[in-house]
């Protein structure tokens, strides 16, 4: 097998050809988001042009994080000008290629990555990429290679320093290495924020053999896809982190547990693993360092609780993915009953990053408690969705600004961060929060693993709660009555509130259910009531509008709205033809809505926006009398 130096020398030649190409090189982002936007067709169209002698070459890259601009293409021209372009759909590919190969294709330009913003001799008003709002607050450490290299080409990774950090680590004393990780403040980026160095020392000190590493890539929080970006763009950064972990802890085998929804990540990580084996990085005597480590991918099959490390271990152990009671901790008894360490994708990649940027530099970014950077995905009501990387301690308001603010001039109502177990905070509090775990805790919330979902005024918090509680009820493994039954009862309450049929003492029941759910075994149960607790604290007026006035102010909850035709018009006839339940009926020559048949899908209003309205104040407001406990019991409540 070649030495590291030989690998590096061979890789440098491969990389140089795509970093400083002899003729224009079109680097197309190929990732799950871009493919949804048609990037495969763009890639094929550019490839066809290249193959027919258009004088340029085409290469794939992963994900630079700009979901809002996909399909994204970077053009690297001889002379060092690199320009990033967006919205390059297949239909526009030919005109774009012509313009971008010889100059700057202005209507697609996002920013200049390197070189001058000139089109031949003429200056063009395209900003430097680093100066645009989206990029300004970002520090691209974990995303160093994202959108830069071909994720399927290990030479690109190695040429940019890849696996040299493992080489350096392997020359260190194992305790000293673990102390570097401990001293960096690095904690699990999945949302648990437990010290990574501590976890590694537990595994190193475990007596039994063999020892195992598991990578949790079961990123199940809806609205979070940071791990997907790493795996689709730079799988080796994760693998190098695992290899460093294997050396530090003495682990000999690893499992990378990737969720079923990420087929492209599964493909790229498998490809990267094979490339490592082929070059003697994984397997026996890694790069001549005497370490033996190999890993394999397990494809998940749709179970949110497998995001809990003991649930994930159960799943690897051929069981249903049910979390179990600790102790024993995974470092004592994990996969196949052997000592095991579980970290997520971003955490392993953070170890590689820590050594790459050096611990000294690492400590200059972030906050006192949390050095370094964190990746987030932004989505929801903001103008731009995508994946970003910012220093710990960046404010939510700054992230909203880089995301283009709330779209359509609407008001920022709430932040839903870190998945359904982390909370829902009103804009007034959320905007000033620093993005690190500590500020969220006194608010009865968490920061979570990286999802940031911005909510605007058109969303109803009761509806959001019902949605998340439905998810948590559906995904409960069912072991603990407090979680299984607690979420069932919570969902029943929220559904009746959203129908305007709340009991007056439902707020008390919510409180009592939330308290009893604290006796669940795992975080799925204990954190399930976080969002509803946040809601009762910060959105009580909206709860009361539903419960006491039978009104949904955002006009979302089905039971509290109805549709009405305000004007007879040809558009209404069209709406009648569109209605999936034929609820728009002719009544003595004029159209009317049969309320019993109407499913409140809004299709008719989209067809006849000027002639059909939604109403939310139509039910008589009956002041609720205080129901005695005995009445509630009789009514089966």
Q: Which residues bind another protein (CB under 8 A)?
A: 32-33, 35-37, 67-68, 70, 220, 222-225, 228, 255, 260-262, 296, 298-304, 315-322, 335-336, 377, 379-381, 385-386, 416, 453, 455-456, 458-459, 463-464, 467-468, 471, 477, 556, 578, 580-581, 599-603, 606-607
CA distance linking residue 413 with residue 538, whole number of Å: 11
Q: By 3-state DSSP, what share of the chain in percent is helix, strand and coil, each rounded to 5?
A: 45, 15, 40
Report the residue number, 170 or 520, with the smaller CB distance to another protein: 520
- For 10, 22, 97, 108, 370, the CA distances from 56, given in Å and listed in that order, are 24, 9, 9, 18, 45
**What CA–CA distance (Å, rounded) separates 482 from 487?**
8
Least Å from the CB of residue 229 to another protein: 8
Chain-centre distance for alpha carbon 467: 18
In whole angstroms, the minimum distance from the beta carbon of 266 to another protein comes to: 10
Strands of 397-529 (E only): list them: 412-417, 424-426, 451-456
Closer of 368 and 606 to another protein (Cβ): 606
Instruction: Report residue 162 as tokens.
Output: 């890849």
- Cβ-based nearer residue to another protein, 204 or 338: 338
String of DSSP letters for 150-206: -TT-HHHHHHTTTTHHHHHHHTS-HHHHHHHHHHTT-B-TTTT--BHHHHHHHHHH-
Q: How far apart are CA 63 and CA 71, in angstroms?
A: 10
Residue listed under structure tokens 């929801």: 380
Between 260 and 368, name the residue whose CB sits nearer to another protein. Answer: 260
**Minimum distance, C-beta of residue 336 to another protein, in the bound complex (Å):** 6
- What does each C-alpha distance from 636 to 330, 495, 503, 586 come to in angstroms? 44, 16, 12, 42
Nearer to another protein, 378 or 435 (CB): 378
The one-character DSSP state at 382 is B
Q: How far is the CB of 572 from another protein (least distance, A)?
A: 14
Q: Closest approach of Cβ 303 to another protein, in Å?
A: 5
Which residue, 162 or 451, has its beta carbon nearer to another protein? 451
SS (H, E, C) 32-69: HHHHHCCHHHHHHHHHHHHHCCCCCEEEEECCCCCHHH
Closest CB 601 distance from another protein, rounded Å: 4
User: In which element (H, E) is residue 5 found?
Assistant: helix 4-19
Q: How far is the CB of 320 from another protein (least distance, A)?
A: 4
Minimal distance in Å, beta carbon 215 to another protein?
13
For the CB of residue 221, give the shortest distance to another protein in the complex, in Å. 8
Which residue in the block uniquely carries the two structure tokens 């990580």?
269
Residue 338 or 356: which CB sits closer to another protein?
Answer: 338
Task: CB nearer to another protein: give 156 or 413.
Answer: 413
Which C-beta is closer to another protein: that of 317 or that of 481?
317
């Amino acid at each position: 097998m070649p030495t590291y130096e030989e690998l590096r020398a061979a890789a440098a030649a491969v990389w140089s050809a795509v970093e400083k190409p002899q003729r224009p090189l079109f680097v197309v982002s190929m990732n799950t988001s871009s493919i949804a936007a048609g990037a495969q067709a763009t890639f094929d169209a550019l490839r066809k042009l290249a193959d027919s002698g258009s004088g340029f070459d085409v290469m794939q890259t992963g994900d630079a994080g700009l979901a809002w601009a996909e399909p994204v293409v970077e053009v690297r021209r001889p002379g060092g000008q690199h320009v990033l372009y967006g919205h390059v759909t297949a239909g526009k590919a030919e005109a774009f290629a012509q313009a971008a190969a010889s100059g700057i294709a202005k209507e697609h330009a996002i920013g200049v990555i390197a070189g001058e913003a000139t089109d031949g001799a003429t200056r063009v008003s395209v900003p430097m990429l680093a100066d645009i709002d989206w990029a300004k607050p970002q520090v691209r450490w974990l995303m160093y290679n994202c959108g830069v290299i071909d994720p399927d080409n290990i030479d690109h990774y190695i040429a940019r320093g890849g696996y040299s950090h493992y080489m350096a680590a392997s020359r260190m004393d194992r305790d000293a290495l673990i102390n570097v990780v401990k001293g960096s403040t690095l904690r699990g980026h999945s949302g648990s924020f437990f010290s990574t160095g501590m976890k590694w020392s537990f595994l190193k000190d475990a007596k039994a053999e063999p020892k195992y590493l598991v990578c949790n890539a079961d990123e199940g929080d809806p609205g979070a896809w940071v791990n997907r970006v790493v795996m689709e763009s730079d799988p080796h950064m994760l693998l190098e982190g695992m290899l460093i972990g294997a050396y530090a802890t003495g682990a000999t085998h690893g499992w990378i547990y990737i969720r079923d929804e990420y087929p492209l990540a599964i493909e790229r990580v498998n490809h990267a693993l094979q490339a490592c084996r082929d070059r003697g990085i994984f397997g026996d005597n890694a790069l001549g360092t005497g370490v033996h480590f190999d890993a394999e991918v397990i494809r998940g099959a749709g179970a949110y609780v497998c995001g809990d490390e003991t649930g994930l271990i159960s799943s690897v152990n051929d069981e249903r993915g049910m979390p179990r009671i600790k102790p024993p901790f995974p470092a004592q008894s994990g996969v196949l009953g052997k000592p095991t360490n579980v970290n997520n994708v971003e955490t392993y990649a953070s170890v590689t990053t820590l050594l790459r940027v050096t611990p000294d530099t690492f400590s200059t970014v972030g906050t006192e408690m949390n050095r370094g950077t964190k990746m987030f995905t932004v989505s929801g009501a903001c103008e731009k969705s995508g994946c970003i990387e910012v220093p710990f301690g960046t404010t939510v308001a700054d992230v909203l600004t880089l995301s283009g603010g709330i779209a359509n001039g609407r008001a920022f109502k709430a932040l839903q961060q870190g998945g359904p177990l982390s909370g829902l905070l009103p804009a007034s509090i959320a905007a000033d929060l620093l993005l690190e775990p500590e500020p969220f805790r006194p608010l009865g919330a968490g920061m979570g693993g990286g999802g940031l979902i911005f909510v605007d005024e058109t969303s109803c918090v009761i509806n959001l709660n019902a949605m998340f509680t439905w998810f948590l009820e559906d995904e409960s493994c069912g072991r603990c009555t407090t979680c299984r039954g607690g979420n069932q009862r919570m969902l029943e309450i929220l559904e009746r509130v959203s129908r305007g049929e709340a009991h007056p003492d439902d707020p008390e029941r919510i409180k009592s259910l939330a308290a009893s759910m604290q006796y669940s075994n795992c975080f799925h149960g204990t954190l399930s009531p976080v969002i509803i607790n946040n809601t009762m604290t910060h959105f009580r007026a909206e709860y009361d509008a539903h419960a006491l006035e039978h009104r949904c102010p955002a006009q979302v909850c089905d039971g509290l709205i109805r549709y009405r035709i305000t004007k007879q018009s040809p558009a209404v006839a069209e709406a009648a033809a569109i209605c999936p339940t034929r609820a728009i009926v002719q009544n003595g020559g004029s159209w009317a809505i049969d309320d019993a048949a109407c499913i409140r899908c809004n299709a008719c209003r989209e067809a006849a926006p000027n002639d059909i309205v939604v109403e939310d104040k139509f039910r008589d407001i009956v002041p609720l009398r205080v129901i005695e406990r005995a009445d509630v019991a009789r009514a089966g409540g």
